[in-house]
Amino acid sequence: MSTIKDVAKLAGVSVATVSRVVNRSPRTSEKAIKAVTEAMEALSYRPNANARALVSQTTQTMGVLVGDVSNPFFGAMLKSIDLVCRDQGKHLLIGNGYHEADSEREAIEILINSRCESLVIHSKGLSDEDLTKFCKEVPGLVVINRQLDEVPERCISLDNYKGSYLATEYLLNQGHRDIAYICSEHDIEDADSRKQGYRDALAAHGVSPQEHTIAYGYPDEQGGEKAMRDLLSRGVSVTAVAAYNDYMAAGAMACLEESDIAVPEQVSVIGFDDGLISRYMKPRLTTIRYPIQPMAEQAARLALQLAQGSSPESSPHVFVPTLVKRNSVKPLTQ
Amino acid sequence: MSTIKDVAKLAGVSVATVSRVVNRSPRTSEKAIKAVTEAMEALSYRPNANARALVSQTTQTMGVLVGDVSNPFFGAMLKSIDLVCRDQGKHLLIGNGYHEADSEREAIEILINSRCESLVIHSKGLSDEDLTKFCKEVPGLVVINRQLDEVPERCISLDNYKGSYLATEYLLNQGHRDIAYICSEHDIEDADSRKQGYRDALAAHGVSPQEHTIAYGYPDEQGGEKAMRDLLSRGVSVTAVAAYNDYMAAGAMACLEESDIAVPEQVSVIGFDDGLISRYMKPRLTTIRYPIQPMAEQAARLALQLAQGSSPESSPHVFVPTLVKRNSVKPLTQ
DNA sequence: GGCACAAAAGTAAACGTTTACACAGCATGT
DNA sequence: ACATGCTGTGTAAACGTTTACTTTTGTGCC
């Protein structure tokens, strides 16, 4: 692969001139531009981004850590981020953490070593302490989907508690009283908050939450199916189910269908996230909208501002979820 | 951000020694290791990947161009690639092309400039000529989802023709004769091949394909809905529909549902891709499986082998699609 | 023609690493 | 006492750019 020196030699000029032509410096003659352009073409010269980054001390790159690119939730997040980056002439280095502490740490370190000046981090595995340390180390780092008490101005998060409260309250307002909750078995903050939102909404409406109406599973379709089966086999009688996320809701619905229990006629189901699949399920899933796109956009902007040292415009850091009414919940009639 | 020199000074050794400790060279004393490790810790030193890449002439990075990260199809592709990369200690630089020639070219150039030694490219916008040129320029570049006549050994692709032939043949075998086709309006090879597969299957079964049973739309749900509406308004009587992809099939089903036409009782529908949503639709979508995961895995391996100059193991470059029977197709009875 | 000044081009240092080579210290064998 | 070999460390060049500074070239004016 040819270098700037090769181009300079072929064009009969110095490397400085080549550099100036490449970077469209105004101090260059037509003649030089022509000679250099032709030489670059002939050698198919590609300026080495690493060398450039080294000397100019900037990479124009945003690093992003996601859980798993194959999950459409992260796909939507990445797209929002990419849109603001492309608008600002930045590009993206992406790491997968697979929700596992060591992978996440390693991925973040790669992003830092690559000198991404801005970072958007979605971590479920690392501790608050670790994340806070990273925040303090790199100024352009923003955490999405987590709330760190020490550095709230670096976090973009969702009020999970409220979302779950909303979901449960909606079921209550539809007349339901026997409401089960399908929870993620992961020991992370958002799972806790969502469960607590469910409990508190119940309590606020005079229904005392009971432990045996809560079932656990891995936060995917299989996990939802398993949790629903658990619930059914415990013999708890239930007219509605709230789930940790849409996938678990889909699993629960599959399980109910297998057991010849009609949704929503016999049992109502409500999800969480409003992900891609919620629109394609039948009945279409009533759920809680997780506004990941505006959140990701905001996180990206914030990271960019922090990275360039400009004081970030004040804007919401905690987003509020909203109810999306579709067809999987029915009022309780009797 | 501190450099290797800072660490060397604090540890009271030379930069060479620091480098050797960082890279776990065997020629280092316990004493040096300890001093350097402590200094690194104290300064929270991060080796600059750009400087490293520059001198060592390798970045350990694979570049990937996808159409749009938010599409689960590309999510699945990226995940497969990431899995083989992480296994080989490489990481990923990702570009979005949004199916647009200029964006694709720009994204590929960024990947090359960043000195990714291996590349997996999914392009719909660029011409065969452009792609072939890129292939010749960088040895570790592999094109997925396209067939380039000049460099077939660099392409991993699917037999689209066969897939569509298979789909249509299945409908024919179920007794259908009036079969419409919903086609992508994009002027790209795979759309053509799929349409031709449909036509040829029809012809092979003595049904002469007619232009007015083919409708066009953007390859998403709205496009499918529009195409189906076109078909209906043309008054063509049809008992089955084959679609360019699952999203268009979903759109078609939505349109049929609105028109009180039962799927699959009155009209059968078959998709293409076997994407995430096909499993969640009701009736669950009969479709053609696009084995993107093994394809992406293979592409990544091939790119890695080509990049390191080892002769690539011979393995399939053209994958064959298969039929996935679910519930959206019914035999024609009468 | 000579001069001042502007424009264009060149020279070389710097960015943060790796690594070939050189060298010091030390144990070993004669 | 001295050559030998081994271990650990240091020195300095190299990677491919950008850019401050310097030098050359060109232009207009008296």
Residue B334: pLDDT over 70: no
CATH code, B297: 3.40.50.2300
Nearest nt (C1') from B57 Cα: D15
Q: Would you say residue B192 lies in a domain?
A: yes
| Alpha carbon separation from A271 to A182, A244, A268, B294 (Å, rounded) | 10, 7, 10, 32
The integer distance in angstroms from the CA atom of B48 to the C1' atom of D8 is 25
% of chain B with per-residue pLDDT over 70: 100
State the Cα–Cα distance between residues B71 and B74, nearest whole angstrom: 6
Q: Are residues A233 and A164 in the same domain?
A: yes
Residue contact A49–B110, C-beta within 8 A: yes
Any idea what DSSP says for residue A267?
A: -
Q: Can you tell me the mean pLDDT for B240-246?
A: 98
| Cβ contact A14 with chain C strand, < 7 A | yes
Nearest chain B alpha carbon to A73: B70
pLDDT digits (tens, 9 = 90+) for B150-197: 999 999 999 999 999 999 999 999 999 999 999 999 988 899 999 999
Q: Are residues B135 and B202 in the same domain?
A: no
Q: How many CA atoms lie within 13 A of A71 on its CB side?
A: 19
A262 in reach of chain B (CB within 8 A) = no
| Cβ contact A55 with chain C strand, < 7 A | yes
Residue contact A95–B96, C-beta within 8 A: no
The integer distance in angstroms from the CA atom of A14 to the C1' atom of D23 is 13
Residue contact A69–B49, C-beta within 8 A: no
Q: Are residues B210 and B230 in the same domain?
A: yes
Q: Are residues B36 and B119 in the same domain?
A: no
- The amino acid occupying position A329 is V
The integer distance in angstroms from the CA atom of A8 to the C1' atom of C10 is 12
Q: Would you say residue B327 lies in a domain?
A: no
Q: Would you say residue A331 lies in a domain?
A: no
DSSP characters over A281-321: SSSPPBEEE--HHHHHHHHHHHHHHHHTTPPPPP--SEE--
Per-residue burial over A234-254, b if 16 or more Cβ lie within 10 Å, else e, is: eeeebbbbbbbbbbbbbbbbb
Q: Would you say residue B277 lies in a domain?
A: yes
Residue among A91, A95, A109 whose CB faces B110 most closely = A91
pLDDT digits (tens, 9 = 90+) for A178-235: 999 999 999 888 999 999 999 999 999 999 989 999 999 999 999 999 999 999 999 9
Q: Are residues B107 and B30 in the same domain?
A: no
Structural domain span for residue B189 = 160-290
Contact A31, A40 (CB under 8 A): no
Residue contact A54–B54, C-beta within 8 A: yes
CATH code, A11: 1.10.260.40
Residue among B50, B78, B95 whose CB faces A69 most closely = B78
Q: Are residues A239 and A262 in the same domain?
A: yes
Q: Are residues A171 and A215 in the same domain?
A: yes
pLDDT digits (tens, 9 = 90+) for B7-36: 999 999 999 999 999 999 988 999 999 999
Predicted confidence at residue A334, as pLDDT, reads 63
Q: Can you tell me the mean pLDDT for B264-289?
A: 95
Residues of chain A with pLDDT under 70: 334
Nearest chain B alpha carbon to A91: B95
Q: Are residues B223 and B263 in the same domain?
A: yes
Predicted confidence at residue B314, as pLDDT, reads 78
Residue among A54, A69, A109 whose CB faces B75 most closely = A69
Predicted confidence at residue B215, as pLDDT, reads 97
Q: Would you say residue B24 lies in a domain?
A: yes
Q: Are residues B99 and B244 in the same domain?
A: no
Q: A114 contacts in B (CB within 8 Å)?
A: 49-50
Phi-psi region of A93 (alpha: psi -120 to 50; beta: other; left: phi over 0): beta
3-state secondary structure chain B: CCCHHHHHHHHCCCHHHHHHHHCCCCCCCHHHHHHHHHHHHHHCCCCCHHHHHHHHCCCCEEEEEECCCCCHHHHHHHHHHHHHHHHCCCEEEEEECCCCHHHHHHHHHHHHHCCCCEEEECCCCCCHHHHHHHHHHCCCEEEECCCCCCCHHHEEEECHHHHHHHHHHHHHHCCCCCEEEEEECCCCHHHHHHHHHHHHHHHHCCCCCCHHHEEEECCCHHHHHHHHHHHHHCCCCCCEEEECCHHHHHHHHHHHHHCCCCCCCCCEEECCECCHHHHCCCCCCEEEECCHHHHHHHHHHHHHHHHCCCCCCCCCCEECCEEECCCCCCCCCC
The count of other CB atoms within 10 Å of the CB of residue A136 is 13
Nearest nt (C1') from B54 Cα: D15
Query: In which band, very low, low, confident or very high, does the pLDDT at B315 lie, cut at 50, 70 and 90?
Result: confident
Nearest chain A alpha carbon to B283: A282
The total of structural domains in chain A comes to 3
Residue A139: asked if its preceding bond is cis (omega within 30°), the reply is no
Q: Are residues B127 and B174 in the same domain?
A: no
Residue contact B74–A72, C-beta within 8 A: no
The integer distance in angstroms from the CA atom of B5 to the C1' atom of D5 is 32
Residue B94: pLDDT over 90: yes
Q: Would you say residue A327 lies in a domain?
A: no
Nearest nt (C1') from B16 Cα: D10
Q: Would you say residue B170 lies in a domain?
A: yes
Predicted confidence at residue A312, as pLDDT, reads 75
Q: Are residues B145 and B121 in the same domain?
A: yes
Q: Would you say residue A325 lies in a domain?
A: no
Q: Are residues B215 and B269 in the same domain?
A: yes
Angle, in degrees to the nearest 10, between helices A101-113 and A128-137: 0
Predicted confidence at residue A317, as pLDDT, reads 93
